[in-house]
Amino acid sequence: MTNKNHPCANCSFYEQSLWRPVAGANMSTLARNFTRREMEAGSVLYHQGAPSDGVYCVSRGLFAIRSFGPDGSSSLLRLAYPGELIGYRAFLTGRDHRTEAQALLPSRVCVVAQRDAKQVVRACPEVLTRLAVRCADELDLCHDRIQEAARSPNKERLAQLLEQLMAAHGTKDGRFERMHLPISRQDLADILGVQPETLSRLIKRLQSEGRLRTSGRWIEMPGPMQKHVI
C-alpha cells in the first residue's frame, strides 16, 4: 500500500525510497510540505557549512557530493544516483553540512524529511532506522575505498571508475561521453586522488594496453558493465 500523496509516489524509484515501508505514516509530522525541486546542471542543492535543511531523495539526474579543504582544494566523495538519499548526515546530527551537493545533470529531488530529527524519530522511528542504515552503508563504501586506495594501483582504479561511470551513463556499446555527464578531468582526478596530469598519463597507458579508446569526447571501453560503486 503506497501513499499517493507523496511526491515520490510517481517516481520509478519509489520502491527504493525512504517511504515505502511507512506509507501509512502521518506525513505532516515529517515535513511541512512535501515538494519536488528541479535543479539545473551545475546548481548546488546545499553548500558546505550550511545548516541542515532536510533529507532529499534523488529522483532524477545525478549529484556529486564534494568536500572542500581549507585551502580550496576539493574532493569528490561520492556520486548520488536516482533512488539515493542525500543530506541525511546533517539531518541526523543536527550539525552543519560538511559536504556540498551539486547537480551534474538536470535533476529532481524529493524532500523526504524536513522537520527536526527529534520530531521525526517520535513520529516515525522506522524512518530514522532507514536513515541510520543508509549512513552505515555509506560508511561501508568509505571503508572499501580506504582499503582499495592502499592496495590497487591507480591505473586499475581508473579502469574500474570508468566502468562504473559507463555502467550508469554509457550507451549500449560501451561509449561514455564526458560532456553529457559533466565530469571534468579535474573531477576524475579528484576521485582517484591524483593530479590531472597524472590522470592524462593513466588514460594514455590504458589506451596503449588496448583497454580503452578515446575519440574526441568519447571514452570507449570493452568488457561487461559493472554495478556502480564510487
Angle at the Cα of 170 from the Cα atoms of 221 and 210, rounded to 5 degrees: 5
Are residues 175 and 217 in contact, defined by beta-carbon separation less than 8 angstroms? Answer: no
Single residue of 69, 70, 210, 216 touching DNA by CB under 7 A: 216
Task: Classify 61 in phi/psi space as left (phi over 0), alpha (psi -120 to 50) or beta.
Answer: left
Near DNA by CB under 7 A, which window of 1-9, 105-113, 127-135, 211-219? 211-219
Longest dimension (CA), the chain: 59
Which option in DNA, a copy of itself, none does residue 216 bind, with CB closer than 5 to 8 A by kind?
DNA
105: left (phi over 0), alpha (psi -120 to 50) or beta: beta
Q: Which of 37, 129, 137 is nearest to 78 (CA)?
A: 137
Q: Smaller CB distance to a copy of itself: residue 110 or 127?
A: 127
Binding residue for DNA (CB under 7 A) from 202, 206, 212, 221?
Answer: 202
Nearer of residues 12 and 184 to a copy of itself, judged by Cβ: 184
- Given a copy of itself, DNA, none, residue 32, with its beta carbon under 5 to 8 Å by kind, binds none
CB of 176 vs a copy of itself, minimal distance in Å: 23
Interacting residue ranges for DNA, rule: CB under 7 A = 153-155, 184-186, 193-204, 214, 216-217
